[in-house]
Structures are given as C-alpha cells and as structure tokens.
Amino acid sequence: MRRQPVLVYDGDCAFCTSAVRFAERWLRPRCAATPWQFADLAQLGVSRRRAEHEVLWVTPTGAVHGGAQAVAKLLLSADRGWPVVGALLTLPPLRWAAQGVYRLIARNRHRMPGGTAACALPSPPTAGKPT
C-alpha cells in the first residue's frame, strides 16, 4: 500500500505541468505528483479516460477525487494556510463554484499561460456519427 496520496495530472500539458510545479514549490503538498502518461493507472484504480479528462487525487486507500476536489485535497495537504482554502472548496456552494471554474479552465487550458495545442482535452468519441 502507498504511504502518501498521488496527484495524477496531464504531463503533455504545459499549463498542467507548470501548475503542479508551482504547487510543489510554493504549497508543498504531501503527495507524489506524476503525469498519467507515466503512472500505473491500473494499480491506482484509475481509467486512462478519466486521467485524460481531469486531475486526480488518489488516496493511499484507493479513493479517487477528480477535478476541483482533487485540487481541494491537494490544498488540504499543503503547508501554511492552504488547508483552510482546501476545506472551504469542499463545502457547498463553494464546491459547486470550484467545479465550474475547474471545468472552465480545463476546457481552455490550451489558451492559458504556458498552454499549447497539446493541452487541449481529447474530443469526445463520435461513435455512430457520420464523419
């Protein structure tokens, strides 16, 4: 069993990588951060599709939190006053607002500072649709 949580992020996205590096340097969360492209997703209990879709926080017991709640968990594990911010992000209505902001940023991460075309989320499957 792992001893610390794992933050799984998109290593091909420059914005995501920069955000994780910032968090590691300034927030000092107690977790291991790894790009999903290099993670053993099966061992973490995470599908590739989910890892492509959002940042994930996987606890040592195997609970998986995604999107804004993964960010909240990261903040809860950080130094200084960040755990207070993380705790607030777990409470409605801030939780709902945080998820909306997270989705907005995730959809536009290729437009964010440091973002590139490689940061764009994969297109949804078009099964059954004419091309």
pLDDT digits (tens, 9 = 90+) for 35-64: 999 999 999 999 999 999 999 999 999 999
Task: Give backbone dihedrals phi and psi of 93, rounded to 5 degrees, phi first.
Answer: -90, -5
Specify the higher pLDDT residue, 58 or 1.
Answer: 58
Task: Give backbone dihedrals phi and psi of 115, rounded to 5 degrees, phi first.
Answer: -75, 155
DSSP 35-58: EGGGS-HHHHT--HHHHHHS-EEE
User: Whole-prediction pTM value?
Assistant: 0.86
Residue 15 has pLDDT above 70, yes or no: yes
